[in-house]
Structure 1
Amino acid sequence: MRLLSNALRRGVLLAVCLASPHLAANVVIANTRVVFPADQPEVTVKLSNVGGTPSLVQAWIDDGSPQSQKQDLHIPFNVMPAMFRLDAGKGQSLRLFHAGDAMPTDRESLYWLNVLEVPPKESGNALQLSLRSRIKLLYRPAGLQGQARDAYQKISWQWLREGRQWLLVAENASPYVVNLANLTVLQEGQAEMALEPSHVLPFASTRFRLEGMANPAKAQLQYAFIDDHGAVREAPPLTKVRVAD
Structure 2
Amino acid sequence: MLSYKSLLVFNKRLVFILLTLTASFNGECTVNVDKSRVIFSSGELTANISLHNSHKEPILVQLWTDAGDPLTTPDKVKTPVLVNPPVLKMQPNEVRNIRLLLVSTEDLPQNKESIFWLNILQIPPNTNQVSKEKNKLILPLRIRLKVFVRPKSVGDITSDDFDKILFSKVNSNTVIIKNPTKWYITIPSLRIADIKSKPIWLGPFSHISLHVKNEINEKESVTFDVIDDVGAIHRRVSVIN
Do the structures match in fold with TM over 0.5?
yes
Q: Which residue of 1 aligns with 2:234?
A: 233
1:80 Cα deviation from its structure 2 partner = 1.0
Structure 1 unaligned spans of 5+: 1-13, 187-191
CA 122–27 in structure 1, closer or farther in 2 if over 3 Å, else same:
closer
Letter in 1 for 2:96: Q
Match of 2:94 among 90, 97, 111: 90
Distance 2:190 2:163 in 1: 15
Distance 1:27 1:226 in 2: 23
CA 143–51 in structure 1, closer or farther in 2 if over 3 Å, else same:
same
CA 171–92 in structure 1, closer or farther in 2 if over 3 Å, else same:
same
Structure 2 unaligned spans of 5+: 1-19, 132-136
Q: Compute the TM-score of the two structures, normalised by the length of structure 1.
A: 0.77
Letter in 1 for 2:114: S
Distance 2:24 2:92 in 1: 23
| Identity among equivalent pairs (%) | 23
Count of paired positions: 216
CA 117–156 in structure 1, closer or farther in 2 if over 3 Å, else same:
same
Is the CA contact (8 Å cut-off) linking 2:127 and 2:139 kept in structure 1?
Answer: no
Is the CA contact (8 Å cut-off) linking 2:118 and 2:147 kept in structure 1?
Answer: yes
Is the CA contact (8 Å cut-off) linking 2:56 and 2:93 kept in structure 1?
Answer: yes
Write the deviation string for residues 47-90 of structure 1: whole angstroms up to 9, x where unpaired.
Answer: 11122222211111122222333333321111111111112201
Deviates more, 1:31-40 or 1:124-133: 124-133
How do 1:69-108 residues align onto structure 2 when only pairs under 5 Å count?
Answer: 69-102=73-106, 103-108=108-113
Let me know the Cα RMSD of the aligned residues. Answer: 2.7
Please give the secondary structure, in 2, of the residue aligned with 1:153.
helix
Is the CA contact (8 Å cut-off) linking 1:157 and 1:241 kept in structure 2?
Answer: yes
Please give the secondary structure, in 2, of the residue aligned with 1:141.
coil
How do 1:208-227 residues align onto structure 2 when only pairs under 5 Å count?
Answer: 208-210=210-212, 212-217=213-218, 219-227=220-228
How do 1:138-177 residues align onto structure 2 when only pairs under 5 Å count?
Answer: 138-144=148-154, 147-161=157-171, 166-177=173-184
| Richer in helix (by share) | 1
1:177 Cα deviation from its structure 2 partner = 1.7
CA 168–94 in structure 1, closer or farther in 2 if over 3 Å, else same:
farther
Is the CA contact (8 Å cut-off) linking 2:56 and 2:92 kept in structure 1?
Answer: yes
Letter in 1 for 2:166: S
Distance 1:224 1:65 in 2: 27
How do 1:95-134 residues align onto structure 2 when only pairs under 5 Å count?
Answer: 95-102=99-106, 103-121=108-126, 125-126=130-131, 127-134=137-144
CA 206–52 in structure 1, closer or farther in 2 if over 3 Å, else same:
farther
Distance 1:73 1:66 in 2: 10
